[in-house]
Structure 1
Amino acid sequence: MAAQQLLLNVDNVSRVFGGLKAVSDVNMQIQDGELVGLIGPNGAGKTTLFNLLTGVYEPSGGKIHLSGESVGGLRPYQITKRGAARTFQNIRLFGDMTVLENVMVAYHMHARHSLFTSIFRLPGHFKGEAEMREKAVEFLKIFNLDGKKDEIAKNLPYGEQRRLEIARALAARPKLLLLDEPAAGMNPQETVDLMNLIRWIRDEFKITILLIEHDMGLVMGVCERIYVLDHGQIIASGTPEEIRTNPHVIEAYLGQEV
Structure 2
Amino acid sequence: MAELLKVDNVSMVFGGLRAVSNLSMHIDEGELIGLIGPNGAGKTTAFNMITGVYTPTEGKVYFNGQQSSGKKSYQVTQMGMARTFQNIRLFSELSVIDNVKIAYNMHVTYNLADAIVRDGKYLSEEEFITQKALDLLKIFHLEEEAHEVAKNLPYGKQRRLEIARALATEPKLLLLDEPAAGMNPQETKELMEMIRWIRKEFNLSILLIEHDMGLVMGVCERIYVLEYGMKIAEGTPDEIKQNARVIEAYLGEEVIN
Q: Fold-level match, TM-score > 0.5?
A: yes
Aligned partner of residue 5 in structure 2, secondary structure:
strand
Question: What does 1:13-162 align with in structure 2 at a 5 Å threshold?
Answer: 13-162=10-159
Letter in 1 for 2:41: A
Corresponding residue for 2:209?
Answer: 212
Structure 1 residue 119 displacement after superposition: 3.5
Question: What does 1:206-245 align with in structure 2 at a 5 Å threshold?
Answer: 206-245=203-242
Aligned partner of residue 97 in structure 1, secondary structure:
coil
Unaligned ranges ≥5, structure 1: none
Equivalent pairs counted in the alignment come to 255
From 160, 163, 188, the counterpart of 2:160: 163
CA distance in 2, matches of 1:67, 1:211: 19
Corresponding residue for 2:196?
Answer: 199
Unaligned ranges ≥5, structure 2: none
CA distance in 2, matches of 1:80, 1:243: 31
Structure 1 residue 127 displacement after superposition: 1.3
Letter in 2 for 1:88: F
CA distance in 1, matches of 2:244, 2:48: 28
CA distance in 1, matches of 2:223, 2:124: 44
CA distance in 2, matches of 1:253, 1:37: 14
Letter in 1 for 2:44: T
CA distance in 2, matches of 1:106, 1:167: 9
Letter in 2 for 1:241: D
- Give me the CA root mean square deviation: 1.0
Q: Percent identity at matched positions?
A: 62
Letter in 1 for 2:113: F
Moved more, 107-116 or 161-170: 107-116
